[in-house]
């Protein structure tokens, strides 16, 4: 009879633990995930941090966490972390086991191999009892985002167009009167505003005198990127690696121009990740914060043609009231693009074309 009681007792214990774990194992259990930075550049290494908290006395025998991410982030597998990678997506599986009132933190090394906006919106948690008599799962919402900026092309490899917006030449070209800086008086000329008259100097000399305004440099540069990889293409882009290089060229020019003190803008016939169907456009601005915003937009740029490039140029032409410097980054030159470049030049814009090439770009 003894062995029968052992068997019956063992079955009762197994059933009891099954009941307890099934009902209470996931109570007061929380899971979170984050990156140690909000943004980085292509080629950087970051950390993904997983935190699991069991805020009750009953242990968690085993818990498997699974989630999906793009393959642009490269993870290193270890004993408790496994990665199954496909062409575009990869599945992550983490295995945990916690005693009561325990918190566990794991850090995973991640290589940001490709530009993009990487988001994790949920994770699947599968759990069970000690003896594998039952298993269940639930979905946990997450709000995790990592922006990977494009790596700007090396300055030595970036053959910039020899235009006026480079360095001190820009000061001599985009020269304009600054209404807030007064350097003296001069004689009135036809066309001067009455608001400019210096009445004290006029009374003293007996002739109309106006304020002389000092001069300041006004720099304007807009980078225009074409996501079409060949003439006559439809919406889908075949050679995305070529366009990725074009994005790095754009990042390099925007970085260089901002460091030179220019106001920079950007437009592309692709679209932002969260705004499909609309071309990406960033108005001109200056300073490091504006450059960071440009990097963020480039990270979120989806390589999918929203409009033909020459059509986008035609729309932008109507919005530009003042002339400026324009740099077109495109893998090819078509009749439509050439026609729009001619129209823009007639309106006073300085237009350059940088063809996308594997080892850099040469100005034309």
Q: What CATH number corresponds to the domain at position 288? A: 3.40.50.410
* pLDDT value of residue 80: 74
Q: Where are the alpha helices (DSSP H) in 175-331?
A: 199-205, 240-259, 288-299, 309-319
Do 200 and 238 lie in one domain? The reply is no
Do 17 and 144 lie in one domain? The reply is yes
Do 329 and 222 lie in one domain? The reply is yes
The answer to whether residue 162 is domain-embedded is no
The answer to whether residue 158 is domain-embedded is no
* pLDDT value of residue 212: 62
* pLDDT value of residue 357: 75
* pLDDT value of residue 344: 95
**β pairing state of 175-187 and 275-285:** unpaired
- Average pLDDT of adjacent 10-residue blocks, the chain of 364 residues: 69 68 82 97 96 93 92 82 84 91 94 96 89 82 97 79 47 43 64 74 82 55 95 85 96 92 93 96 93 98 96 94 90 96 93 76 38
- Two structure tokens written together for 149: 């900026």
The answer to whether residue 126 is domain-embedded is yes
The answer to whether residue 164 is domain-embedded is no
Do 139 and 7 lie in one domain? The reply is yes
Neighbours of 58 (CB within 10 A): 18
Distance CA 234, CA 238 (A): 10
Do 132 and 199 lie in one domain? The reply is no
- Two structure tokens written together for 350: 């300085």
Total of domains in the chain: 3
Question: Last residue of some domain: 132, 149, 166?
Answer: 149
CA atoms within 13 A on the CB side of 54: 20
Three-class DSSP category at 159: coil
Residues near 195 by beta carbon (within 8 Å), at least 6 away in sequence: none
* pLDDT value of residue 170: 41
Distance CA 159, CA 353 (A): 11
The answer to whether residue 58 is domain-embedded is yes
Do 229 and 247 lie in one domain? The reply is yes
CB contact at 8 A, 304 and 240: no
* pLDDT value of residue 232: 81
The answer to whether residue 154 is domain-embedded is no
Q: How far is CA 119 from the centre of its chain?
A: 12
- Two structure tokens written together for 42: 């292509």
Do 211 and 270 lie in one domain? The reply is no
- Two structure tokens written together for 185: 């008086």
Q: Is 45 exposed, middle or buried (0-12, 13-18, 19+ CB in 10 A)?
A: exposed
User: What DSSP character marks residue 153?
Assistant: P
Q: Tokens 């242990």 sit at which residue?
A: 59
Question: Last residue of some domain: 149, 164, 191?
Answer: 149
Do 129 and 17 lie in one domain? The reply is yes
The answer to whether residue 161 is domain-embedded is no
- Two structure tokens written together for 331: 């893998």
Do 56 and 190 lie in one domain? The reply is no
Do 187 and 285 lie in one domain? The reply is no
Do 233 and 205 lie in one domain? The reply is no
Distance CA 348, CA 131 (A): 78
Which range of residues forms the domain containing residue 78? 2-149
Do 134 and 212 lie in one domain? The reply is no
Question: Last residue of some domain: 149, 168, 190?
Answer: 149
Neighbours of 144 (CB within 10 A): 18
């Amino acid at each position: 009879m003894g062995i029968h009681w052992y068997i019956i007792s063992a079955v009762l214990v197994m059933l009891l633990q099954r009941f307890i774990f099934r009902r209470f194992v996931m109570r007061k259990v929380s899971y979170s995930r984050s990156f140690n930075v909000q943004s980085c550049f292509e080629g950087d290494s970051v950390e993904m941090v997983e935190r699991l908290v069991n805020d009750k006395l009953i242990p968690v025998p085993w818990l498997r966490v699974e989630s999906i991410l793009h393959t642009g982030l490269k993870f290193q597998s270890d004993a408790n972390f496994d990665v199954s990678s496909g062409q575009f997506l990869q599945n992550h599986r983490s295995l945990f086991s916690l005693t009561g009132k325990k918190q566990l933190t794991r850090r995973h090394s991640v290589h940001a191999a490709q530009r993009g906006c990487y988001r994790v919106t949920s994770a699947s948690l599968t759990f069970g009892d000690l003896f594998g008599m039952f298993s269940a799962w639930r979905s946990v919402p997450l709000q995790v985002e990592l922006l990977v900026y494009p790596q700007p092309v090396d300055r030595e490899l970036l053959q910039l167009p020899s235009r006026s917006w480079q360095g001190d030449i820009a000061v001599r070209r985009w020269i304009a009167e600054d209404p807030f800086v007064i350097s003296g008086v001069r004689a009135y000329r036809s066309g001067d505003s009455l608001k400019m008259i210096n009445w004290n100097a006029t009374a003293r000399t007996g002739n109309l005198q106006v304020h002389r305004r000092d001069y300041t440099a006004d720099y304007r540069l807009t980078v225009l990127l074409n996501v079409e990889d060949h003439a006559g293409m439809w919406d889908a882009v075949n050679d995305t690696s070529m366009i990725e290089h074009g994005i790095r060229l754009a990042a390099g020019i925007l970085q260089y121009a901002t460091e030179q003190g220019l106001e920079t803008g950007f437009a592309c016939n692709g679209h932002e990740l969260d705004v499909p169907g609309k071309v990406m456009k960033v108005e001109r601005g200056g300073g490091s914060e504006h450059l960071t915003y440009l990097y963020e937009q480039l990270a979120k740029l989806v390589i999918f043609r929203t409009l033909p490039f020459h059509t986008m140029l035609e729309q932008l032409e109507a919005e530009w009231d003042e002339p400026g410097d324009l740099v077109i980054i495109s893998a090819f030159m078509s009749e439509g693009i050439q026609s729009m470049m001619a129209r823009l030049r007639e309106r006073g814009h300085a237009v350059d074309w940088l063809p996308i090439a594997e080892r850099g770009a040469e100005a034309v």
